[in-house]
Structure 1
Amino acid sequence: MEAQRPLRDSYYFRSSDFSRCGKEGINKLDVNELAFILSRLTIKDAAAARLVSPQWARAFYMYFSRISMLNFKWNEALLYFCNKPLKSRHRESHNYVDWVNNVLEKHDGGKIKQFSVCFDLDCRFTSSIDRWIQFAMEREVEELELEFLLTQGHKFQDSYIFPHQLLGISHLSGPGCHNTYPPRWEACEDCITSASSFCRPHLDLPTGGGFKCLKVLHLENVDVDGQVVEYFLSNCRALEGLSITGAIHLLTLTVAAPSAPSLRYLVVKNCLRVTSITICNSHLCSFIYKGMSMHLQLDNVPSLVEVCLHQADSKTSDFAALAFDQLSSHLFQLHTLMLDVQFNAPLYLSAFACAVPKLPNLQHLDLVILADDLWSLRRLAAFLRASPHLKKLVLQLQFYPIKGELYNDVQCPHDHLRVVEIVGYRVSKKATQHLMFLIENAAALEKVVIDPACRWLHHRTGAYRSFIEVKEEGEARDHAMLQLKEIIPPTVEFVCL
């Protein structure tokens, strides 16, 4: 039997290669050539191409049995996903799981660099997701991304739970083990779920190297507790990036030497029960936190240059003051700062909340602001004065109807601000006033970007966006092109996304 020709890393196709095939064209290429073509497509498009003919199907399974980067993100299918009927969403989720399972069954390669999935998945698909993680561990994955959505009708309690068994750790209980969550079949006041009767079967520890090569771990709406996070920080010496979103049983988090020696960025979002985060003696460069207000301790983090803090709490009146207090020992070294500076206090108290400490090395400032707050421009001026070397400013606008005019009685000339980006722009007089204020004060301004999409509020795939929002964005985009463009100085580049 003739030996099968190995799949090439690269292949040059001449026009004659196709013309010589006549009417059948590309279908007459051999399976290796077809496999090369599929390698240039996304997994979604390649999976669709396999339906063309048996030859294409053989090429598909040949290529994906050896591929080292398995990226199952299908962003197009998730756009406006929440607007679809419930039955349709459930059917598509089942189809997605079947698709991933079929590809993995055919995979017979060695180590993989990446395994990424992104779809509307929850505890209903626990057995399949468990197998995916086992698959990734056995092939010593370097980047593991489990990005699950919670669309309408699902709650955080329905999230998939990361299996302790695969890590070789067991649930602990009793005093001092507050981070562990109860198994799904043990109902409690904090974890009532429609899947409370679910019982995970016994899982064998995977063969191979496990997570010893793991560099990036991204978990979204995957429930983990402190035990699981501590496992990754302590045992994955190569871990460079850790991102956790929507873990309802994560209460505290500590990043400290000698754990996580390679960790460079940490993201914690919407983990609503987190009470404290401690980072000390770490080489962390970037820290992003979005959730309820919590106790943050930073001690000896000399490489930290990027911080994002979006905190919410009905008892806190000044989120900016809270953030500055938490970051006080590291403010001088920050290059990028992202803050939610909306206020819960009555508006007349906002006048006293404009003190901003010096940010001598800040180059990129990203603020979520209430555009209708009458004191908004004064607060913005305080940030500009505190950041003399600022080069880029991003304003993410929220709107809430407030009577009265903005207090526009401050001047803060700035010599280094070059780029201004307005995100979440709407047809609003006060939104325009914010832009004009910056144009008047930024002497070195080179570029203005208007983006009507409220990107910080939605998933990157657009799964949660409504058609009403899309309509509002269209109206804002038309207004920006017709009205704002006319008031931008000719020396400033204007971009509307």
Structure 2
Amino acid sequence: MVHRFRIQFDLGDLNQRVIDEWLRFVVNKNVEILELDLQNGRKACTIFASYNFPLNLSNATVVELASLRKLYLNNVVVRNGVVEKLLTTSPLLESISIHRSIGLTQIRIGGRGVNLKHLEIVNCFGGISVHLNDCNLVSFTYMGILMDLDITNLPNLKEFNIRHDRVGFDNYVLSQLSSCVSSLEALSFPVDGMITENLHSIPRLPNVKKLTMTIDTLEDGHILNHLVSSIREACPNLETFIIKLGWYSPFERRVLKARSYANIQPFENLKVFKMLGYYGRTVDYELAAYVIHNVVALEKVVIDPRRHDQIMIYRGKVRRNVLLREEVARSSAKRQLESLVARKSPGAKFVIL
């Protein structure tokens, strides 16, 4: 028996047969964790450099891996229907993670007999429709182009993370969370800072303890009033609040305006507030200050100016400019927020990464 088996190859015509042989070995060893990572680290991958999974090792259309509990696929072709068939031929399968796949345009998972607990789909080529109905899923993560999403009767869903590339889709996605309000504990979703009405689509989520919002575009004054009222009302027991800001928002250096925070119902249980991508823009400060002013039990504030929207390799002058920008952001955060945190929450720890 093999507990964990990882295949990591640079793709090429000569390697297809080798990968086939390794998979034949795995099938006969009752593997529990299988990782097929075909990302080419030395040169750019193309959508043509992919491997079809699963290999047809027998008369069956899908490889039977009766002991499989966890599956990770990267840069592998996964056709429609493969995931569903795997769940029937691998009854112990609890976790599926699919990255950079082509050929996958639809996933339909449902039924109490399905053992799947964790599903992750990241940066697959083309749009995908996802239907998750009447099953015991615990966590769902999706990043990429989302064509359609259907969530129905997921009583055990605790973690929902989504980052989609479809403008105007936020209302539709958030409204579907109503089917798992009693179980959801962690939520992550994007917000368009120019269209803040989507915050009103969040249903009441009394058990959510951790919330992450990704804001790619910011316009001064648009999100602040909606932020406290909508998030506080939707998640009254929130303990950790994370805001990720995009670096591409317009850089503003206006004179900071005095704002009134009186008569605003505060976050009663919030303990940790984090802001990623803080650059010292006026909107950055106002957003952070708005939250800090409305927390009564704050224990820690973390400001991270580093770029988190994508992984990039910087060289020469570009890298120096990025590092300089981060240092400017750190200085701005210290000047703008350190005294505010000390004044509003004297016992809170203030951290700048």
Cα RMSD for the two superposed structures: 3.0
Quote the offset at 1:245 in angstroms.
1.5
The match for 1:292 is 145
Residue by residue over 1:228-251, the C-alpha shift from the partner in whole angstroms, topping out at 9 and shown as x without a partner, is 323321111111111111212111
Change (3 A) 1:432 1:398: same
Quote the offset at 1:138 in angstroms.
2.5
Q: Is the 8 A contact 2:37 2:74 kept in 1?
A: yes
Q: Does 1:384 align with 2:232?
A: yes
The match for 2:203 is 357
Structure (1/2) with the larger helix percentage: 1
Tell me the number of residue pairs that the alignment of Structure 1 and Structure 2 aligns.
335
Return the TM-score normalized by structure 1.
0.60
* Pairs within 5 Å for 1:95-494: 111-117=1-7, 121-124=10-13, 125-149=15-39, 153-166=44-57, 168-170=59-61, 211-257=65-111, 260=114, 262-313=115-166, 316-317=167-168, 319-342=169-192, 347=194, 350=195, 352-355=197-200, 356-370=202-216, 372-374=218-220, 375-381=222-228, 382-399=230-247, 400-401=249-250, 411-455=264-308, 457-458=310-311, 464-467=312-315, 468=318, 471=323, 474-475=326-327, 478-479=330-331, 482-483=334-335, 484-489=337-342, 490-494=346-350
Return the TM-score normalized by structure 2.
0.83
Q: Is the 8 A contact 1:367 1:395 kept in 2?
A: yes
Quote the offset at 1:281 in angstroms.
2.2
Identify unmatched segments of 5+ residues in structure 1: 1-110, 172-204, 459-463
Separation in 2, partners of 1:328, 1:167: 43
Change (3 A) 1:296 1:495: same
Quote the offset at 1:357 in angstroms.
2.9
Quote the offset at 1:478 in angstroms.
4.1
Separation in 2, partners of 1:246, 1:145: 14
Residue by residue over 1:436-457, the C-alpha shift from the partner in whole angstroms, topping out at 9 and shown as x without a partner, is 2221111111011223344453
Identify unmatched segments of 5+ residues in structure 2: none
Moved more, 222-231 or 263-272: 222-231
Quote the offset at 1:377 in angstroms.
1.8
SS at 1:226 equivalent = coil
Q: Is the 8 A contact 1:233 1:259 kept in 2?
A: no
Separation in 2, partners of 1:402, 1:379: 22
SS at 1:488 equivalent = helix
Change (3 A) 1:160 1:288: same
Change (3 A) 1:129 1:164: closer
Q: Is the 8 A contact 1:247 1:271 kept in 2?
A: yes
Residue by residue over 1:365-414, the C-alpha shift from the partner in whole angstroms, topping out at 9 and shown as x without a partner, is 01101363221223322212321110001111113217697996664411
Change (3 A) 1:170 1:216: closer
Q: Is the 8 A contact 1:354 1:378 kept in 2?
A: no
* Pairs within 5 Å for 1:44-55: none
Q: Percent identity?
A: 28
Bigger-Rg structure (1/2): 1
Moved more, 322-331 or 474-483: 474-483
Structure (1/2) with the larger strand percentage: 2
SS at 1:413 equivalent = coil
Q: Is the 8 A contact 1:164 1:228 kept in 2?
A: no
Quote the offset at 1:136 in angstroms.
2.6
Quote the offset at 1:221 in angstroms.
1.8
Q: Is the 8 A contact 1:371 1:431 kept in 2?
A: no
